[in-house]
């Protein structure tokens, strides 16, 4: 079906006869294939005398184009690359390989996730061929202490990738979100496999809304935006994927030496809730105060009645207080 999708990605009409010749199958088989295309949630239109088309076309991921957007250094850091059509989630796929052995340097991209998820198991709406769903695996000696602040640093890398694609308005929300005008554009999910005090592998998942179809809006349980809303031109999925993986790999290549300190000032300068009243939702209680940035380890600094209290990641969420 990938070849059929590639043909239809131009958004133009293609007759059943033309598609049959190109794919070497009957028109009846084409009809059955088009039902599978519709099952992906894509807007298929058929018109007598014209054939089939995908409304608006598709910007499909391409391994060759993706690699063209990587630096020489990043290309050398990738040990294994997978470009998938439909997966449960890229993080699940990456985690399975990390659990089976050393998967450091693995990069996975997918067109669609059927069970995409964010922090605390929340659903991440992941329709076909619209957004960016990516995961990487990287190994660290020194356990969880070596990855302190990493989710925030990855946020900085993701923002840099957006800037490379002409999007400069992205803000960062502690500990792992990308926002535009307080609307969620992307999220980061880190999972650790291995020895928490020794060698461990970090699965880094990133989801970014590029061109979320309106028909999926009702599936999202919070305010959201996508990059195409912020850009005069359509953001290329391969361009963004290449910029994102490039920035993250460059970050990972020496994070064990420099840590979050190198990225702290940049994170603070793009903090979506800097000096704003906020409410922290902890496991069994809430805390209210004024957000005062983060410390050298990436922990949130909360001003509670003039006293700075520090909170690390985990099950803490941050909501703007109204």
Report how far residue 243's alpha carbon sits from residue 137's, in angstroms, rounded to the nearest whole number.
17
Catalytic annotation on 32?
no
**192 pLDDT exceeds 70?**
yes
Hey, what CATH class is 2-54 in?
A: mainly alpha
Residue 296 is classified by DSSP as T
Report how far residue 124's alpha carbon sits from residue 235's, in angstroms, rounded to the nearest whole number.
20
Split at pLDDT 50, 70, 90, the class of 300 is very high
Q: For residue range 211-236, list pLDDT tens digits in order.
A: 887 766 666 767 889 999 998 888 99
pLDDT for the residue numbered 121: 60
pLDDT for the residue numbered 202: 97
Residues of the chain with CATH 3.30.930.10: 63-268
Report how far residue 68's alpha carbon sits from residue 65's, in angstroms, rounded to the nearest whole number.
5
Question: Quick one: how many helices (H) and strands (E) in the chain?
Answer: 9, 14
Mean pLDDT along residues 249-277: 97
CA atoms within 13 A on the CB side of 226: 22
Catalytic annotation on 119?
yes
> Could you say which of 119, 159, 171, 173 is catalytic?
119
Per CATH, is 273-320 categorized as 2.30.30.100?
yes
Closest by CA position to 293, among listed 315, 318, 314:
318
Report how far residue 105's alpha carbon sits from residue 79's, in angstroms, rounded to the nearest whole number.
5
Residues of the chain with CATH 2.30.30.100: 273-320
Q: DSSP letters along 2-51, please?
A: HHHHHHHTT---B-HHHHHHHHTS-HHHHHHHHHHHHHTT--EEEETTTE
Catalytic annotation on 264?
no
Residues of the chain with CATH 1.10.10.10: 2-54
**291 pLDDT exceeds 70?**
yes
Report how far residue 83's alpha carbon sits from residue 314's, in angstroms, rounded to the nearest whole number.
30
**315 pLDDT exceeds 60?**
no
pTM of the model: 0.92
> Could you say which of 182, 287, 319, 321 is catalytic?
319
Mean pLDDT for the chain?
A: 92
pLDDT for the residue numbered 98: 98
Chain-centre distance for alpha carbon 142: 26
> Could you say which of 184, 237, 264, 292 is catalytic?
184
Q: For residue range 83-106, list pLDDT tens digits in order.
A: 999 999 999 999 999 999 999 999
pLDDT for the residue numbered 275: 95
226-to-205, 268, 296 alpha-carbon distances in Å: 18, 23, 30
Per CATH, is 63-268 categorized as 3.40.50.720?
no
């Amino acid at each position: 079906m990938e070849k059929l999708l590639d043909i239809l990605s131009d958004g133009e009409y293609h007759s059943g006869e033309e598609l049959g010749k190109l794919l070497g199958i009957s028109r009846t088989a084409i009809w059955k294939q088009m039902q599978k295309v519709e099952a992906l949630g894509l807007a298929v239109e058929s018109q007598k005398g014209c054939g089939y088309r995908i409304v608006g076309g598709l910007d499909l991921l391409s391994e060759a184009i993706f690699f063209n957007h990587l630096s020489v250094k990043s290309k050398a850091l990738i040990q294994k690359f997978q470009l998938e059509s439909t997966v449960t989630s890229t993080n699940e796929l990456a985690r399975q390989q990390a659990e089976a052995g050393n998967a450091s340097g693995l990069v996975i991209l997918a067109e669609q996730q059927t069970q995409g998820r964010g922090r605390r198991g929340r659903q991440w709406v992941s329709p076909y061929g619209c957004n960016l769903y990516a995961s990487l695996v990287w190994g660290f000696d020194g356990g969880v202490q070596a990855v302190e602040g990493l989710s925030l640093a990855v946020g900085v890398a993701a923002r840099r990738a957006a800037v490379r694609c002409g999007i400069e308005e992205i803000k960062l929300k502690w500990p792992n979100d990308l926002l535009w005008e307080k609307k969620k554009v992307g999220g980061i999910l880190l999972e650790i496999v291995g020895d928490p005090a020794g060698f461990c592998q970090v699965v880094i998942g990133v989801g970014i809304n590029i061109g979320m179809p309106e028909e999926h809006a009702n599936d999202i349980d919070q305010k959201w935006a996508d990059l195409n809303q912020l850009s005069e031109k359509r953001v290329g999925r391969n361009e963004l994927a290449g910029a994102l993986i490039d920035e993250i790999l460059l970050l990972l290549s020496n994070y064990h030496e420099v840590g979050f300190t190198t990225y702290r000032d940049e994170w603070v300068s793009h903090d979506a809730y800097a000096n704003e009243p906020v409410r922290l939702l902890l496991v069994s209680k809430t805390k209210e105060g004024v957000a005062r940035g983060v410390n050298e380890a990436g922990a949130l600094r909360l001003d509670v009645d003039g006293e700075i209290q520090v909170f690390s990641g985990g099950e803490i969420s941050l909501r703007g207080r109204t």
